[in-house]
Amino acid sequence: MSDAPILYSFRRCPYAMRARLAILSSGITVELREILLRDKAPEFLETSPSGTVPCLKIDKKVVDESLHIMAWALAQNDPENWMQMPTEGYELMALCDGPFKHSLDRTKYGSRYPDEDTAEHRRNASKFLMSLNDQLSPNLFGADPKLADMAILPFVRQFAHIDQDWFYAQPWPKLIAWLDAFKTSDHFSAIMGKYPKWHMGDAPTYFP
């Protein structure tokens, strides 16, 4: 497996989570290198143009965006038909990665943004979540999850974990059921294994 693509990842990062989800679904094997964000390996920083996870190295090519990694993996093999979704799915992913993530960060890390109104950002994030709730049936585009479901769910999970008592008290039952189904799924279990921090010279760890 010495020619396996190399995935630099961090277990709890939602961007890295969705990259691992797509790689898992595709059945492609990668060498997983767990990065500690507060102490990034020099070899990782030499590879990643942005210094962020996930980062996929395929021979001499580097893919440094999570959605691009998902698209790469599913272009090789898409047995669950995640890519078979309407254009609206890409619009939802753009809203997730743009306005929703902007407000999520300012809700979760309010102390980093002292000039921002945390309550207002939580309200803004909640509007997006309510729109998802209204669309779910039980997934965003019907019975089976698609790329948009798997790209957005890790961020909904991150938002829910800011204040779970508050989140689970909100009037979005379909959203809660969607998130809970994800958190108890085989896919989620498979991507959330714990790995030690990678160091140069370590024996390879393969995923999945």
Looking at residue 1, its pLDDT comes to 62
192-200 CB contacts, 8 Å cutoff, 24+ apart: 192/11, 192/17, 193/11, 194/11, 195/11, 195/32, 195/34, 196/34, 197/34, 197/35, 197/36, 197/39, 197/41, 198/8, 198/33, 198/34, 198/35, 198/41, 199/41, 200/41, 200/43
Residue range(s) defining the domain that contains residue 21: 6-80+191-207
Q: 1 in a domain, yes or no?
A: no
Looking at residue 37, its pLDDT comes to 86
In this structure, the answer to whether residues 176 and 200 fall within a common structural domain is no
As averages over each run of 10 residues, the pLDDT of the chain (208 residues) reads 90 97 98 93 91 94 97 98 98 98 96 94 98 98 98 98 98 98 98 95 95
Q: 33 in a domain, yes or no?
A: yes
In this structure, the answer to whether residues 40 and 71 fall within a common structural domain is yes
CATH number of the domain encompassing residue 177:
1.20.1050.10
In this structure, the answer to whether residues 44 and 11 fall within a common structural domain is yes
Structural domains of the chain, count: 2
